[in-house]
Amino acid sequence: QAAVLKKLGITPIESLIKIYFAWSDGEIIPEDVLYMDLDQFKQDVATGYREALAILFEMPFIEESMTEEYIRKAASEANTLDAMIFGEGIPVSTEPEVKVEEKEAEEEEGKEEVGIGGLFG
């Protein structure tokens, strides 16, 4: 929109007027609706859609117009069950255990034997 206005030679200006109410078709529109946060509104709509789908999947009947979502949900659950049953989940790197303590213990045992053997002969 700004590019179109620029081509027409119209420069935008900041409005100094703050609107508290508007009236349209006999309805009074409050300030919070006039100046609503569009990003928050988009997020609320997306959240509402996800929650509606969650409710839909819990219903005991199938809605024919949502077949693709049912298939997507079933595939996701099948992959989750497959990973749980066969243990092929997200690969986790396992670090090899360091056996430094065992080596030190073996060296100490060897030193003790030499020391004791030297005392008796």
Q: Is residue 81 part of a domain?
A: yes
Full pLDDT tens readout for the chain, 121 residues: 678 888 888 877 777 788 888 998 999 989 888 888 889 999 999 999 999 988 988 887 888 888 888 898 889 889 899 888 887 655 555 665 555 555 555 555 555 555 555 555 5
Q: Is residue 46 part of a domain?
A: yes
Q: Is residue 109 part of a domain?
A: no
Number of independent structural domains in the chain = 1
**Nearest one of 49, 46, 20 to 35, comparing CA atoms:** 20
Q: Is residue 37 part of a domain?
A: yes
Domain that holds residue 72: 2-89
Q: Is residue 96 part of a domain?
A: no
Q: Please list the alpha-helical segments (H only) found in 37-66.
A: 38-58
Whole-structure pTM value: 0.42
Q: Is residue 62 part of a domain?
A: yes
Distance of CA 12 to the CA centre of its chain: 39
Q: Cα(52)–Cα(44) distance, rounded to whole angstroms?
A: 12
Contact 31, 21 (CB under 8 A): yes
